[in-house]
Structure 1
Amino acid sequence: MPALISRRHALCCGAAAVAGLFSSLTTPAAQAGWRNPCKGPLPGPLVEHPLVAQTFAGLDPHALWDSHAHLLGTGDAGSGCWVDARMSQWWHPAAVARRSVILNAACVAPDAPSIDRAYVQRLLQLTADFPPGARWMLYAFDEALDDFGRPRPDWTTFHVPNAYAAEIAQRHPERFAWVASIHPHRADALERLDRAIASGAVALKWLPSAMNIDLAAPRLAPFYARLARSGLPLIVHCGEEKAVPGAGRDELGNPLKARAALQAGVRVIMAHCASLGEALDLDQRRPSPCSAFSLFERLMDEPAWKDLLLGDISAVFQANRSAEVWRTLLARQDWQPRLLHGSDYPLPGVAPLYRPSGLVRAGLLAAEQVPVLETVRAHNPLLFDLMLKRTLRWQGQGLSDAVFDTRRHFVKPLKVSPADT
């Protein structure tokens, strides 16, 4: 998810952050320890380091699409993006700190002539360290609506219009594709979906708990039917959401609610593999809480969804995920063709979210690999994120090349029939 970090004070959708992650960043001294060095391109010796070189070994760069990357903007260059004003109000110090951390993660100066332009320019600079053909799927993000289809700015953490995401992707087609976001409660939701498909959207993104979308609601049936006919995948955040509380409907992040979309024949990509927090086990007569990830596991192992359900691995190796999640994703080699690489950019630029030392303690990373990874991150957090995923091992098992062969999930949609219910 990208990334805006509170209900009304966030800048970009992103993965769930540690509770209270930014609340302590209200002094210059505290913020200094979180600072992204924002160094330039990788120096020659680092480019030639074996750990960097092996990152791309065996991969087809043209198949390497980062399936989870965020646009950030304030609308200062006509993008139509907007964020809550409190992020610039000194009497809300935690919100101001959040703004500072996220802008720094994206290497955008707070006083940049245009935050809209500076964000895209830095992202383009980072992509230069990748081989030609690699691309990033940039997310639009719709407003939160109530049950009657009325916009709720008080629930909306941030907004990135479809038109802006499409414009940036069309301007830089060699590096970017775009993902639409359309709230299904809108009266013209189906028309907007048709326009997005005609404009080249490669997927649709929802964050149910923040946007106020009940995945299991019968009213979504026409929308699901249109998605299924088009083959456009639905990227949906399930599990706990700390980064973008929005409407605060945490119960709507239950992975089991995604069955309604799957039963309608929609391809569902569960963002972050529902790897954070708890949800009620709705399959029980008396539902009790369990880990959201265990419900993702259940769905992945149900034969009916073998060709429909996938998971993106953005944010799953952050410090706030459990070692059990890490080890399961590496050990389940049968899942590998259904897992998708994603960075959740710009969050890899927020240093405390990724602590390689914790991965070392969990037995997934060699201690001698950490300095190289950290040095790369100072220059290019996107490359760091990819290197980390390519390096991790648990009992000899790592993420297979199939996890990084993501283009196939978006340019050649699978044609499947709705599963029997």
Structure 2
Amino acid sequence: MTLSRSRRNFLIAGGLLAGGAAIGALSRPWLINPCLAALPADLGEHPLLKRVWAGVDPAMVWDCHVHLAGVGDGSSGIAISQDMLSPLSPMQYLQRLFYLNAGCAHDAPDRVDQSYVERLHNLMEGMAPGAKLMLFAFEHAHDDTGRARPEASAFFVPNEYARRVAAESPEWFEWVCSIHPYRADCVDALDAAVAQGARAVKWLPPAMGIDPASQRCDRFYAALAQHQLPLISHAGEEKAVHGIGEASWGNPLRLRRALDAGVRVVMAHCASMGDDVDLDQGSEGPRVRSFDLFARMMAEPAYRDRLYADISAIILRNREVSVIRQIVETTEWHGRLLFGSDYPLPGILPLISPATMADEGLLDEAAVPVLEGVREHNPILFDFALKRLLVSDGVRLPASVFETRRFFDSSLARAA
């Protein structure tokens, strides 16, 4: 279709106005992360923070859902889509601004990638000694033939970069590889990543163009099972990342193929948002909450030692309170839940409201100002503390949920 000059100019002007509005949004103090550094003494020594660490072994706390980000202005190899750089795609442009502000790398011309990692160092200095972050690589989208489609990928974080960042600060970081299962060399790439210390594989199927129920994944599943390496896969609706896959590929039921192949699967976010077709009733089955499909699978005896979930993003405003309550109250799930923050999202201030959670009875009201103060300095500690303090009908998440190293560190299993 050919646009007239006036129509084209109108669209460009509209995009620029939207982009200007996006930039203007970040000038509002209640929207931006102030990126403060070390906690002041009154917060650092607050009894509430001492309580959230009580009973938890910090050396076992591995935040299993942390994104590396940047714009590729260093030697990282990171790439982001042109849409995220252009005011003509205002939503994706705004997402980039918020993500980089959340990671405190928004005001660092020519050193965004480095600043993002430096902020992670700063945050880990504020965590109890021994705690670590598991840093995600993020694969290109691929088509059905296994060909990489960088032009259709929202962003790309190479395995080598995630490995290098972790290797440079092993006291703070582990790394998670991301490998597309349709690649001709996917098994070789997995073997190499395991040899280099990757703790898991990360997928976001709708963005990467992966159908987890496709037979194309079988050889990769066999290799994962052989290595006993977990697959951390997004499940449920995806709003943050655009790609070339079908939205339906986030359906929790599509991960049955991996589970049936013997893979340990971690469903990110407990599939806590959106709805999907109930494929157990056929391809034309009714649409039900993705979370309900997740709950069904968690109840199946065959998956008791294979299906797990991380609790990243479950406290965002776009989650139903009933979902949070069910996650906290379902004690039979607790041994299969894993702490993850989905950083940098906890640094986007409007996304999480401790006050709303207190209104719903999920938090003590006295915790709200303390948590909000912590968030301005350390969003990862904020996310950890808030989840440690969650309560529903008198039930809290146990310390074991936060001691995730026991799941990801195979050397502990060998030692046992």
In the alignment, structure 1 residue 237 sits paired with structure 2 residue 243: no
**Residues 112-170 of structure 1: per-residue CA shift (max 9 Å, x gap):** 33111100000110111112110000000000011011222343100000000000111
The 2-side partners of 1:374 and 1:152 are apart by 41
2:201, 2:230 within 8 Å by CA — same for their partners in 1? yes
TM-score normalised per structure 1: 0.90
The AA in structure 2 aligned to 1:209 is P
Residue segments in structure 1 that go unaligned for 5+ positions in a row: 1-21, 416-421
Q: Which residue of 2 aligns with 1:12?
A: none
Q: Note closer, same or farther for the CA distance 1:90–1:295 as it changes in structure 2 (3 Å cut).
A: closer
* SS of corresponding position for 1:393: coil
1:209, 1:247 within 8 Å by CA — same for their partners in 2? yes
Which one of the candidate residues 382, 390, 398 is aligned to 1:384? 382
**Residues 248-289 of structure 1: per-residue CA shift (max 9 Å, x gap):** 411111101111111111000000010000011011144110
Q: Which residue of 2 aligns with 1:323?
A: 321
**Residues 313-349 of structure 1: per-residue CA shift (max 9 Å, x gap):** 0000111000111000110111111000000001100
**How far is 1:29 from its partner?**
5.0
Which one of the candidate residues 297, 300, 310 is aligned to 1:299? 297
2:81, 2:155 within 8 Å by CA — same for their partners in 1? yes
Which moves more between the two structures, 119-128 or 363-372?
363-372
**How far is 1:360 from its partner?**
1.8
Provide the aligned C-alpha RMSD in A.
1.8
Q: Which residue of 2 aligns with 1:50?
A: 47
Q: How does 1:295-374 map to 2 (within 5 A)?
A: 295-374=293-372
**How far is 1:406 from its partner?**
0.3
Q: Note closer, same or farther for the CA distance 1:413–1:274 as it changes in structure 2 (3 Å cut).
A: farther
The AA in structure 2 aligned to 1:365 is L
**How far is 1:92 from its partner?**
4.3
Q: Note closer, same or farther for the CA distance 1:49–1:212 as it changes in structure 2 (3 Å cut).
A: same
TM-score normalised per structure 2: 0.91
Which moves more between the two structures, 62-71 or 211-220?
211-220
1:86, 1:92 within 8 Å by CA — same for their partners in 2? yes
Q: Which residue of 1 aligns with 2:171?
A: 174
Q: Note closer, same or farther for the CA distance 1:215–1:109 as it changes in structure 2 (3 Å cut).
A: closer
Residue segments in structure 2 that go unaligned for 5+ positions in a row: 1-17
The 2-side partners of 1:66 and 1:95 are apart by 26
The 1-side partners of 2:347 and 2:38 are apart by 15
Alignment length, in residue pairs? 394
Which moves more between the two structures, 72-81 or 321-330?
72-81
Q: Which residue of 2 aligns with 1:183?
A: 180
Which is helix-richer, 1 or 2? 2
**Residues 71-123 of structure 1: per-residue CA shift (max 9 Å, x gap):** 01222111111112343334444444332211111111334331111000001
The 1-side partners of 2:255 and 2:89 are apart by 37
The 2-side partners of 1:93 and 1:221 are apart by 38
Percentage identity across aligned positions? 48
Q: Which residue of 2 aligns with 1:116?
A: 113
- Greater Cα radius of gyration, structure 1 or 2: 2
**Residues 335-373 of structure 1: per-residue CA shift (max 9 Å, x gap):** 111000000001100011101122122211122211111
**How far is 1:391 from its partner?**
0.6
Q: Note closer, same or farther for the CA distance 1:25–1:346 as it changes in structure 2 (3 Å cut).
A: farther
Which one of the candidate residues 392, 403, 407 is aligned to 1:409? 407
Which one of the candidate residues 252, 255, 258 is aligned to 1:255? 252
**How far is 1:211 from its partner?**
0.9
**How far is 1:306 from its partner?**
0.6
Structure with higher RCO (Cα < 8 A, 6+ apart)? 1
Q: Note closer, same or farther for the CA distance 1:89–1:245 as it changes in structure 2 (3 Å cut).
A: closer
